[in-house]
Chains A and B, each alone.
Chain A
Amino acid sequence: MLMTRSRSASAQRTIPGTPVFDGDAAQKGLALNAMCYSFNSADNRAAFVADEEAYMARFGLAEAQREAVRRRDVLGMIAAGGNVYYLAKLAGILGLNVQDLGALQTGMPIEDFKAALLAHGVTERSVAS
């Protein structure tokens, strides 16, 4: 039998709402993540903005990856193997920071997402004598 999915520890464990970027995701997401890694270069960011479809074709993105990018669908990009550290570089082009990404993924308005974090309201400080 040809096994196509690993039996990684992460494949055998579900953490609700929490994608674990393992070997399966890394294989599936390679083209999408490679495109995002290229955005470390300002010239590449400009090339993407000038023609998103051509840029995605150049990196050989799968159709599900292209569609998720077209729709600015962050959860879709992650389901298609995207890793958030690389996706953050695409998000930057779109004018989104990690808090915006959080709001998009949780379905919360950005102000609610920020308020939920602020609600922890913890500051603890200690200095030895």
Chain B
Amino acid sequence: MSETVGGIFTSHVPGIGAAIAKGLQQDPYWKPFFDGFAPVHAFLEREKPDVAVVFYNDHGLNFFLDKMPTFAIGAAADYRHEDEGWGIGGFKPFVGHSALSWHVIEQVVGDEFDPVTCQSMLVDHGVCVPFELCWPNAQAWPVRLVPICLNTVQHPLMSPRRALALGRSIGRALESWPGDEKIVVLGTGGLSHQLDGERAGHINVDYDKFCLRNILPDPEALTGHDTLDIVELAGSQGVEILNWLAARGALTGSVRELAHNYHVPISNTAAATLLAENRARVAV
């Protein structure tokens, strides 16, 4: 019987990948962010998950505007990164888990969601940077990947309520998976940041703290805003919180925060890391 051991939520700023490549983890600018990963590393060392189900958004590597799914589920035997246009790279390839991917697809379609399914899919820094952060010394990734890509690029976006419901549907799929794997769920991106417009550089510490305080115990609190409210509060790219909400939904057991780290700024972003354990609910 499989077990979902917990969730890891983290920013995925591409510059983090460049900092890792340059070995800047102890540099005064970067250290307050990287130090937030010590509890994550201890957790992963203890739990040793076999599979990572990753909620993220593509930034123009696999998907272009000619065909833009509201969400897509990877169902490939393997995945890889490619050149995103500005030079970060060298990311290790990923082994997929197509049987689990199809099990997830069956569940979400059964729950009346309508995914795009991808038997071939490139994954960008939204997956690669969090993997580098979680397993910094791995020669090869110790987990198999099920990537779930949400559109956060082209409006209208999935509503926060829908993202949470999608995550819960995927959580039910993970609960009913008959394999014996240990599964970890990742939600990547955020928190507040805005790259475009005269308001570029916008950060909203109050909104970010609201998200960090509520997403585990009361994720519905985050669904009181629609996607344009989130753009206004958290900035154009702060809508990546949708990935966190979906990932939170996939933790269907008893959830408890183990650690969080919030640091402003990393590049133009309020960077955050949140670690949660997920335990089976006790049956009567």
User: Which positions in A face B, CB cutoff 8 Å?
Assistant: 8-10, 13, 15-23, 26, 29-30, 33-34, 36-37, 39-42, 45, 74-75, 78, 83-89, 91-93, 97-99, 101-102, 105-107, 113, 116-118, 120-128
> Given that A88-B195, A101-B195 are contacting pairs, would A40 and B84 also be in contact in the complex, using a CB cutoff of 8 Å?
yes
Which residues of B sit under 8 angstroms from A37, Cβ to Cβ? Answer: 60, 64-65
Complex A-B, nearest 7 residue pairs according to Cβ-Cβ distance, in ascending order: A92-B86, A17-B199, A89-B85, A17-B198, A84-B196, A102-B200, A117-B265
Q: Are A122 and B263 in contact (CB under 8 A)?
A: yes
* Nearest CB in chain B: distance from A14 CB, A: 10
* 1/0 contact string of B65-93 vs chain A (CB within 8 Å): 11000000000000000111111000000
**17 A–B pairs (Cβ distance < 8 Å), ordered by A:** A13-B228, A19-B236, A20-B155, A20-B231, A22-B154, A30-B65, A40-B85, A75-B197, A88-B85, A98-B268, A102-B200, A106-B200, A117-B265, A120-B270, A124-B260, A125-B261, A128-B259
Query: What's the nearest-Cβ distance from chain A to residue B205, in Å?
Result: 6
Question: Is the pair B228, A102 in contact by a Cβ cutoff of 8 Å?
Answer: no
Q: Does B171 contact A (CB under 8 A)?
A: no
Chain A interface secondary structure, helix, strand, loop or mixed?
Answer: helix
Q: Are B263 and A105 in contact (CB under 8 A)?
A: no
Main secondary structure of the interface of B (DSSP, over half): loop
Q: B226 — which chain A residues lie within 8 A by C-beta?
A: 9
Q: Is the CB of A83 within 8 A of B264?
A: no
Q: CA A86 – CA B84 in complex, angstroms?
A: 10
In the complex, whether B201 has a CB less than 8 A from a CB of chain A is yes
Q: Which of A33, A102, A106 has the most CB of B within 10 A?
A: A102
Chain A residues whose CB sits within 8 angstroms of the CB of B228 once the complex forms: 9-10, 13, 15, 20
B118 to chain A, nearest CB (A): 17
Chain A residue at minimal CB-CB distance from B273: A125
A78 to B59 Cα, complex, angstroms: 16
In the bound complex, residues from chain B placing their C-beta under 8 Å from that of A126 are 257, 259-261
